[in-house]
Structure 1
Amino acid sequence: MIDLVKLYLPLILRGTAVTASVAVLSLSGSLAVGLLGAFLSLTGGPVSRRIVNAYTTLIRGVPDLVLMLLFYFGGQMFVNQIGTVTGLWNFVEVSAFGAGTVSIAIIFGAYMIETFRGAALAVPKGQIEAGLAYGLSRRRLFTRIIWPQLLGYALPGIGNNWQILMKTTALVSVIGLQDMVYNSFQAGRTSRHMFVFMGVAMGLYMVITVISGIVFHFLTKRFGPRERAR
């Protein structure tokens, strides 16, 4: 059995590299969406706040797999319809990697918005009141007082979202991306030892989870608020 795992291990590790790439890029995109959404929600007018609330409600209310399939198949149709109408291109094939990464980034962007919004509300009220008394606008209040402290308060939530995001990357195998789960499944089906290779995939996810937990614990202790670092 060990020899069998060794035979397919390079294939599974290539899939692991794809999984890690999707996860890191999706995290980066979701952080950008989360920061923008939190900024608009906290400093924007009623219209921008309603748009952000509608976005978070919609994304969090629809299953992740449904959204990914919509982005993959519907996004490809939408892009090609634009090309047909404008005459700028004939056919564009949306890659599974791109669709998977963008969809996960958009999905977790909604959760990051709530994470950053909660972190902003954790900033001591006395500092907010002092800024308002000084005459700072809502935008300057965000950039001068809230923003420098935002990441420290948000780190625990970001860590939790990252752990869930890592598991969500398994969904990209459904749209044909050769990630860790897809390659493990192929190895199990070919060798007729599905349990073994699904166990290998589970073990790799656990390794990533443990390492991620250690990294975020260090970051929270190093950059988080002092009362949380103790």
Structure 2
Amino acid sequence: MPESLSQLAFGSAGWGDEILAGVGVTASLALATLPLGLMLGFLVALARQSDEKSLRLAGSIYTTVFRGLPELLTLFLVYYGAQIGIQQAAQFMGAETAIEINSFVAGMVALGMVFSAFASEVFLSAFRAIPRGQYEGAYALGLGRISTMRLVILPQLIRIALPGLSNLWMILLKETALVSVIGLSDILRQSGIAARVTKDAFLFFGTACLLYLALALISSVALGGINRWAQRGEAAR
């Protein structure tokens, strides 16, 4: 093994263990953020097509704010701002203990809110692509609102929204690198530490590039399989 590549070895001889742990943190953060972002995005999309004006306004403000703010600024607001807010609330209630927000949770919440703002647009477009007659037909058969949504609308919604959500997942996977600035030991942070210690930035940042590309490739294969599964009914027709 060339001397420079030996720095990627596992154990005390290299940085392989630390970088592999960073891969686990990056994948875990993305997978934990995804359901939060999807759930919030779906709820915001429902609000934006609601008959209630206040809900539509609230949904529009939410998407405008979190699509307009830089992701890094949103991360700082959640991590530092929420920490200060909780600390002041605790002091107001008489508690003097220091409170610190977990960086993983802060990253998940911040990235989840950004993801949900964009996902709500995808869901909203998918809702509008479903003919109104689908709702009317379901109601005519005696289905209630919840049953109509679960049995009639959601299967079509998933199929229509999947390509857009797949793109958002790939963006989310890259945006997890931002959490390195709040101390979370992801791929980028671990690679940066190794680069500073060894003075071999090209090796470790190049390795980080390859790892992100590998995660993207795995995601593309998985998303392709999910897309084929979602389109199976269309192919049969």
Q: TM-score higher than 0.5 here?
A: yes
Which whole-Å CA distance do the structure 2 matches of 1:63 and 1:147 have between them?
31
Please list the CA deviations of residues 163-204 of structure 1 after superposition, one character each: whole Å capped at 9, or x if unmatched. Answer: 000000000001111111000011111110111100100000
- Listed one character per residue, the Cα deviations across residues 117-157 of structure 1 (whole Å, up to 9, x for unaligned) are 11222224442453577798877654553223221222111
Counterpart AA for 2:32: L
Q: Distance in 2 between matches of 1:96 and 1:229?
A: 47
TM-score by length of 2: 0.88
Q: 2:8 pairs with 1, 5, 11, which one?
A: 5
Taking only the aligned residue pairs, the percentage that are identical comes to 36
What amino acid is the match of 1:114? Answer: E
Q: Give the AA of the match of 1:2.
A: L
Aligned-partner residue type, residue 215 of structure 1: A
Q: Which deviates more from structure 2 when the two are superposed, residues 80-89 or residues 92-101? A: 80-89
Partner of 2:109: 102
- In 2, the alpha carbon distance for the partners of 1:95 and 1:18 equals 13
> Using the alignment, how far apart are the partners of 1:27 and 1:162 within structure 2?
8
- In structure 2, what is the equivalent of residue 80 of structure 1? 87
Within 2, Cα distance between the matches of 1:12 and 1:228? 42
Q: TM-score, normalised by structure 1?
A: 0.91
Output the aligned Cα RMSD.
2.3
Amino acid aligned to 1:51? A
1:56-99 Cα distance to aligned partner (Å, 9 max, x none)? 00110110001101111111001111111223563211111111
One of 3, 28, 49 as aligned partner of 1:42: 49
Name the residue aligned to 2:26.
19
**Cα pair 1:43 1:138 within 8 Å, conserved:** no
Quote the Cα distance in structure 2 between the aligned partners of 1:99 and 1:130: 44
Gaps of 5+ in 2: none
1:187-228 CA-partner distances (Å, limit 9, x unpaired): 111110111100100000000101101111110111137447
Q: 1:101 Cα shift?
A: 1.1
- Identify if the C-alpha distance between structure 1 residues 44 and 10 changes in structure 2 by more than 3 Å, giving closer, same or farther: farther
**d(CA) in 1 for partners of 2:86, 2:235:** 46
Q: Alpha-carbon deviations, 1:39-62, whole Å to 9, x = none? A: 222235110011011000011011
Distance in 2, matches of 1:155 and 1:54, equals 24
Query: What corresponds to 2:160 in structure 1?
Result: 153
2:70 to 42, 48, 63: 63
Q: Does 2:179 correspond to 1:176?
A: no
Aligned counterparts of 1:68 and 1:44: Cα–Cα separation in 2: 33
> How has the CA–CA distance of structure 1 residues 65 and 129 changed in structure 2, closer, same or farther, with 3 Å as cutoff?
same
**Number of equivalent positions:** 230
Q: Residue type of the partner of 1:26?
A: T
- The residue that corresponds to 1:221 in the other structure is 228
The aligned counterpart of 1:196 is 203
Letter in 1 for 2:157: L
Which one-letter code corresponds to 1:5 in the other structure? L
